[in-house]
Chains A and B, each alone.
Chain A
């Protein structure tokens, strides 16, 4: 099974390399290391969000409110910075993450304590969080000149030649790998999604595990809120509107099963990178940016069809083994 999982990720790596090679045929400068680093940096926020969504999807839930959470946390971070430019930036980031975690925990509590289906909960909180941004800001924009220089500079600060944003996403990938593979919580995510009944009998609290998954996705959305607002140097009601679907698309392309229990950090990373490469490549190879939406739609459908086939094959292998044992 491990081999199969590796295969699926290898398939995605091959697809990304082929895609990059295809782009390079039409526009060679795309594959210079500097540009590839830019593409990675541009995809960093999507990667961070996809990792949070992965944890939620693994537990058989879904978080449609991530983009709204991002926008609300980002707006609050920007407003705090505009009101108190002297406040140290790490503190602002912590506030954004705490707010994100709080918003995520509301989702989690509704799913855990009230047993409301996750899609309904996050559909509701998606509109509520978006609306709260309007109530908070009165519909006004926070523009670049209202933000302090330190606030805007942090994601761009170069460390060893790469922007801090890229490093941050790498650190989070590292943390997530450790959490998913080396901690009881990470294993519980898989157990809850793989078979909730079995998880209960092994002493895992299904609801609580889901709650923690939502807290995790909320925290990462809060962090991304600061990163988004400081990177694009503007905050308004509609930032990242519709981005929740890109996040889910990255997970689906990365082979994370929407039925729960199957997926990996590497998959989410590659899925996000695949979308990032497409998004950055279209303008340079003279395809209208308007085509991006249709292409990512096609990619999602193809990816889910390929993944479904891979999952079916796995089922058959197990059956054959069982037959061999009995025969």
Chain B
């Protein structure tokens, strides 16, 4: 399971402030905690910095990789200059978050993919915007895999995001995304599936519970990447358990390791266990 730690995101107010003020300690603290919690990539989103995006991206990546040399970054921007600044600053192989099928996006970002060879998240969006239609989004996933392939990206380096919509607004929103995941996994066994989970629960109470349940359902349909808060212990415990149940954990070793490290102990009153 590929975990992209989502917390260093400029649309979160404390992060906006930390980025504006170049508060190294604040950003590093978020990085360290997420890394220790098991992130595969640390997402760095700079969108709110607007004209300052490229400089902020460089600053954040250099800062994090100086502190945690083995950490890899998910460069989260729609701004080609910020993306390129991120690639230049990054040591090792970054994850680009993201590209989609919009003509302008493809034109401005695909050349950078060719030059810097990152792994790539592809969103099932095109110039018509987002759609609730399963066929259309599945088709966009196929187009993305093919187009990225033509540009030299291996299937194992592609992460398709089928998009998730709130089930509070659209009855079948959960099923539609699950179906797209299942179909893409069947068509391309090596391509990864990733999603930003939390949209599913928008507009409802107990959002964490909804996110956790949906995550497990999606994993059963082939989801193997998630852009989440790895500090959510219950969510991480759900992921570890689901992997074991789906036969992705030989001799249940990861499950037992997580158990021994206390990662499965979700009782608010640990004295009882």
Q: Do A and B come from one complex?
A: no
